[in-house]
Structure 1
C-alpha cells in the first residue's frame, strides 16, 4: 500500500517530506511493535511523547512516520499533521480498508448503562434475525465468541481489527460502547454511527476531564458523528443535548414527556413490568432484571430497535429472554436460598 493513497484522503496534513511512493505493510503507534516496512504514528501523551520514540521506530524498520512536530528524517517519509490521534484513526481505517463503513454501527455513551444497553440491543437484533457484534467493557463478542477487552472503546488499530473480524463472520451490525475517553482522544474519528444513544451523565472521570463541562462536551461528539439520536430526556444533560444536536432525535423517559415513555411501572424481585407508550399506543413490557435503572436501560434499547425499523413485538419479546448481563446486577442462581448479585458500580451514584 503506497502512502500517497493515505495522503490523498487524510485531513489535517501540514507538510510531507520524502517520497510519497513509499509502500507500507503495517501501522503501529508503539515503537516496540514496529516491523520492517511499517507506518509509525507518533502520539504525544500525558506520560510519554511518541516523538521521542521515532529513532527506535526507524531502527526497527519504519518506512513512514506521522507526527505533529517539525522534524527532518533524512530519506524517510515524514508526514506532519495537526493532530496525531486523528491521523492514527484515519490511518488505521485506511490500512484495513475502511471496515467501519461496511457496518451499521450503534454507539452508546453516558456514565451508566452503556454495557447493559449494548447487550440488550444485540439480543433484540438477534430476535429479529440480525446478527451483530458487541464491543465494550466486559469483552468484545463476535457471534457467541467472547474476546478480551482492555478498554471500553479500543484504540483505532484494535477497533478496525475487530471490525474486520466482524465482517469476516458475515455480521453487518455492531453495537458498541463509546466512552468519553475514546471521544476526546479521537479513537472513533471518522466513523459514522447509525444511531447514537445517550443514557445519562453523572460525576465520573473528572480526573481525566477536569471539568464536568469537558466531560459533557466529549460525550456530545458522538452525536456529531451519528445519523440519528436516542436520548434520555429525564437526565439534565440529556435535555441539554436534545437542544444542541443537529440530527433527528428520539427521546425516552419516565418523568418528562418523551417519544418513548414507560408508564405503570412495577418493580419486583422477578424484574420490571411497565407499559411502553409510543405513538399513542401501549405495549406491555417485562424485563428480567429488577430496578428502576432496568426500566431506563430497556427503554433505551427498545427505542433504538424501533428507530432502526424493527418490529416492536419482536423487540419486546427479546427482553423476556435476556437473563442478565455479565457483572451488571447479575443474579446468581444457587440452592442456598440466598440472593447473590454481582454488580460493577465504581461511580459515586453507584
Structure 2
C-alpha cells in the first residue's frame, strides 16, 4: 500500500497550469479548463493523494482507477487524468478532467513535466539484469560519494534522498512516486542518482520520463517468467533500457551470450566488460574493458581493470566471488562512461579503499566464524544461477562442509524450483529445503517441487561417490536455526533467497521474518548449548 508517509516529495513544488499540461501532451478535456487551475504533483493511487495533486485514474484488470477518483478528490486532488471510460465516471466530481487514449503511457512523462524534469538536473545511472543490480548500485553509490557527489539511491533495499531514507516497497517506484522522489533529491542538493531498473519497471512504464546518462547490464538468467512468459521476452524488456528513449550510453558485462546479445542489439553507444572465465559464445573475444589478475583477500578480491587502449587500474571489492568482481568492474566503467576522468576515478578508488560498500543482505556475513562457531552468510540469491554463484563463491574459503538453507517463492515461476534444488545439491554438502515467500500457494507443494530436483541430484551425486545430505524443515526460522546449530566450527552456512527482507507473506498474512535475526538466534543457541555442556 502506498500512502503519503511512504512517499518522498519535494517540500516546495512549483504549481503547473493545467492548460499548459493539456497543450504539452495533447490531452483532451471534458470541458473548458479554468485558466488559473494548477497542480503541484501527481498520484496514481488515491490513498497517496495530497492537496493540489493531479490524480491519474488508470484502467485495471479488476477495477478502474476512476472508481476511486471521488476519494482522491476528497483528499485534495485538483484534477483527474484518465481515459474515455474513466472520464465518464469522473465527470461529476467538480474538478477538471483531462483525457488520454492510454493514460499509463503518459503517466511518467506527465509526472516528470509537473515536477520540472528533475532527472535532467542529476547525473543518472540505471542498472538492470537478473542478478547483481543491488550490489552494483551500492558500489556505484560508494564510488560516487568518494568522488565528492551528494548521491541518491533507489533500489530493492532502500530509497535515499539526501538525509531522507525509506525502506523500499518496490525495486523501482511507480512513475509518480519516482518523479516526486527525483524532485526531492534535486531540492536536497543531490547531484548523482543510482537506480535499480527492474524489467517489471520497464514493461510497466515506471521509468518513463527518465533518460539515464549511463545504463548498465549485469547478466540474465531464468527469473520472473511468470510475468514475462519466456527468456526472449524477459530479455527484450531489459533491452529497452539501451535505447535512446531511456539512456544515452550503456555498459554491458559480456560474460555470457545474453550480455553479448545486449551489446550487439543496443541502439546507444555501449562499452563492454569481460571478466576471467567468461562463458561467452565468441571464444572470449576482447572487450573494451577486461578484468585480470584477480586475487582473493579475506572475503573480497583485488583485480586489475584494463581498457583496450592500455589504461589500467587496480582496485578491489570487499564482497566474495567472481560475480562480485564483475559487479564492481561494471560500477567503475559506468562512472568512467559518464565522463569522469580516469585519474579522478583511480584516485577516488584509492581514497575509498576500493569498492567496499556494505550491501544489506548481499553476501552479508552475519557470523564470521571462529571460537567454535561456523561462518554464517545471508544472501538474496533466489534463482538458480544466483544460488550456484553464491555457493561457488563460498566454497574456496570453506574448510569444512558448506550448507545452504533456501526455498522457492510461491506463485512465481514454478519451472525454476527443481533446478534450484539440483543447484543446491551440486554446490553444497548439506541442503536444507524450507519456505521462501509462499504467498497464496501451498508451502508444502512448493517445497516438494524443490525437493524433487534436490533428491534427483543427490542420487546422482551418490552414484558418483559424493554424499550430500538433504533435509526438509519448515517453518523457515526453524530451518535457519537448525542449520546453524548443526554446523561444525569449520563449516559455512549460506542462508539464501531473502537477503534483506523482513516480512514473509503466507496466505495473505505478513509475518515478521529476518534471516539475519534467525541466524543470530542460532548462534546464540550454540553459545547457550556450549555454556551448559
- TM-score when normalising by structure 2: 0.61
The yes-or-no answer on 1:148 pairing with 2:163 is: no
Displacement after TM superposition at 1:241 (Å): 1.7
- Give the 3 Å change call, closer, same or farther, for CA 38–195 of structure 1 in structure 2: closer
Q: Which residue of 2 aligns with 1:244?
A: 265
The yes-or-no answer on 1:320 pairing with 2:333 is: no
Q: Which residue of 2 aligns with 1:343?
A: 379
Q: Which residue of 1 aligns with 2:363?
A: 329
The yes-or-no answer on 1:182 pairing with 2:181 is: no
Q: Which residue of 1 aligns with 2:226?
A: 207
Q: Which residue of 1 aligns with 2:10?
A: none
1:16-31 aligned within 5 A = 16-20=29-33, 21=35, 22-31=37-46
**Unaligned stretches of 5+ in structure 2?**
1-15, 279-283, 387-533
More helix by share: 2
- Give the 3 Å change call, closer, same or farther, for CA 229–76 of structure 1 in structure 2: same
Q: Which residue of 1 aligns with 2:129?
A: 110
- Give the 3 Å change call, closer, same or farther, for CA 323–57 of structure 1 in structure 2: closer
- Give the 3 Å change call, closer, same or farther, for CA 63–283 of structure 1 in structure 2: closer
Q: C-alpha distance in 2, partners of 1:153/1:115?
A: 11
Q: C-alpha distance in 2, partners of 1:107/1:342?
A: 25
Q: C-alpha distance in 2, partners of 1:191/1:161?
A: 12
- Give the 3 Å change call, closer, same or farther, for CA 78–273 of structure 1 in structure 2: same
Residue range with higher mean Cα deviation, 164-173 or 38-47? 38-47
The yes-or-no answer on 1:274 pairing with 2:274 is: no
Q: Deviations over 1:156-210 (max 9, x none)?
A: 2221222122222212110111111111111111211110001111111111122
Aligned to 2:315, what secondary structure does the other structure show? Answer: strand
For the 8 Å contact 1:124–1:314, the answer to whether it is kept is no
Aligned to 2:149, what secondary structure does the other structure show? Answer: coil
Q: C-alpha distance in 2, partners of 1:101/1:38?
A: 22
Q: C-alpha distance in 1, partners of 2:165/2:254?
A: 33
Q: Whose RCO is larger (CA < 8 A, sep 6+)?
A: 1
- Bigger radius of gyration, 1 or 2? 2
For the 8 Å contact 2:162–2:189, the answer to whether it is kept is no
Q: Which residue of 2 aligns with 1:235?
A: 256
Q: Which residue of 1 aligns with 2:21?
A: 6
Q: C-alpha distance in 2, partners of 1:339/1:61?
A: 54
Of 67, 71, 75, which aligns to 1:52?
67
Q: Deviations over 1:290-337 (max 9, x none)?
A: 101111111101111222224241253235361531111012365645
**Unaligned stretches of 5+ in structure 1?**
none
For the 8 Å contact 1:127–1:314, the answer to whether it is kept is no
